[in-house]
Amino acid sequence: MSNNANKTLFISDLHLDTDTPGILQSLLAVLHDRAEGADALYILGDLFEAWVGDDDQSDIADAVATALMSLSQAGTAVYLMHGNRDFLLGEDFAARCGATLLADPTVIECYGRRVALSHGDSLCTRDTAYMTFRKQMRDPAWQQAFLDRPLLERHMVAQQIRQKSQDANSHKASDIMDVTHQEVIKLMESLQVDILIHGHTHRPGIHTIRLHDAINGSDEAVRIVLGSWDQKAWVLEFSPEGYALTPMAHPQPAAPTKPAKAAKA
């Protein structure tokens, strides 16, 4: 039996793209070394840098689907949740991965503990410009109109939105791009959980928080934030004994280093 038995893994925010082959290699290494034989793998959003529709059959999407399908066929349950970059990822792609698409939030039972899962962007309520933008992006009619556009046009629009988002973020205070504490408490109390796992903020860590009302006799709760994979591969491993959030070095650089510019003659 694999030494990954009795483990459940959580990852998010890989932001896979054609120009980050090192991150794909890192994912394949994690799947092989840590996920094979595990009970389940949860990918909590932003697996891809931008997803413009399941009909976009890129090499990177193929490689991910093939690897996840083989993990799932070997007996590890694979789950996908939408992020703010890949909320258009649909049932077709999930089926190609042998994965189940989860709603945000979802409550699971993990070795006897009730755990809430979310991408995390919906908790950043002080970022009012993003909240307005998010509402529009999640409108089914708006999404269908976008999916009806030619693939090339969708890629161009996604690139424009990414650019505008980067520009907007460079002017935002860092703290408004973090989760709102009161929203976290509200969500955890409404779902009656004392553990929340989310990504999105790229601020990996484990935070102890106090709920207003006790759950199972205790007001202590834990918020676990997964990390983005731009520098390291962050994996949260859960087992009956407890949990650990660890960063691992990528086996090769995330993106190939650009050749140095030739000196002027």
Is residue 202 at the binding interface for Mn ion, with CB under 5 A as the rule? no
Nearest to 192 by CA among 224, 217, 229, 155: 217
Radius of gyration of the CA atoms of the chain, in A: 19
Is residue 84 at the binding interface for Mn ion, with CB under 5 A as the rule? yes
Closer by beta carbon to ligand LP5, 101 or else 161: 161
What are the CA-CA distances from residue 183 to residues 190, 232, 247 (Å)? 10, 28, 27
Instruction: Give SS3 for 7.
Output: coil
Handedness of CA 18, 45, 120, 168 (dihedral sign): positive
Is residue 193 at the binding interface for ligand LP5, with CB under 6 A as the rule? no
Q: For residue 92, what are its two tokens? A: 């077709």
Work out the angle at residue 9's Cα, subtended by the Cα atoms of residues 7 and 13, and round it to the nearest 5 degrees.
Answer: 175
Which residues, numbered 41-60, are part of the site for ligand LP5 (CB under 6 A)? 50, 52
Closer by beta carbon to ligand LP5, 104 or else 127: 127
Q: Taking CB within 5 to 8 Å according to partner kind, which of ligand LP5, Mn ion, none is near residue 129? A: ligand LP5
Shortest distance in whole angstroms from residue 174 CB to ligand LP5: 10
Work out the angle at residue 210's Cα, subtended by the Cα atoms of residues 177 and 6, and round it to the nearest 5 degrees.
Answer: 85
Nearest to 223 by CA among 190, 202, 193, 247: 193
Contact 97, 126 (CB under 8 A): no
Q: For residue 54, what are its two tokens? A: 């399941």
Closer by beta carbon to ligand LP5, 40 or else 43: 43
The amino acid occupying position 104 is D
Closer by beta carbon to Mn ion, 103 or else 260: 103
Closer by beta carbon to ligand LP5, 86 or else 194: 86
Which residues, numbered 107-126, are part of the site for ligand LP5 (CB under 6 A)? 121, 124
Figure out which of the listed residues 164, 181, 210, 212 binds ligand LP5, where binding follows CB under 6 A.
Answer: 164
Per-residue interface string for the shown chain with Mn ion, residues 106-125, x marking contact by CB under 5 A: --------------------
Closer by beta carbon to ligand LP5, 166 or else 216: 166
Closer by beta carbon to ligand LP5, 76 or else 122: 122
Is residue 204 at the binding interface for Mn ion, with CB under 5 A as the rule? no
Is residue 158 at the binding interface for ligand LP5, with CB under 6 A as the rule? yes
H helical segments located in the chain: 21-30, 59-73, 91-97, 128-137, 140-147, 151-170, 181-191
DSSP 8-state assignment for residue 122: G
Is residue 137 at the binding interface for ligand LP5, with CB under 6 A as the rule? yes
What are the CA-CA distances from residue 94 to residues 24, 183, 254, 260 (Å)? 18, 29, 25, 40
Is residue 82 at the binding interface for Mn ion, with CB under 5 A as the rule? no
Question: Site residues (CB under 6 A) for ligand LP5?
Answer: 50, 52, 84-85, 88, 121, 124, 127, 129-130, 133, 137, 142-143, 146, 157-158, 160-162, 164-166, 168-169, 172, 177
Question: Site residues (CB under 5 A) for Mn ion?
Answer: 46, 83-84, 200
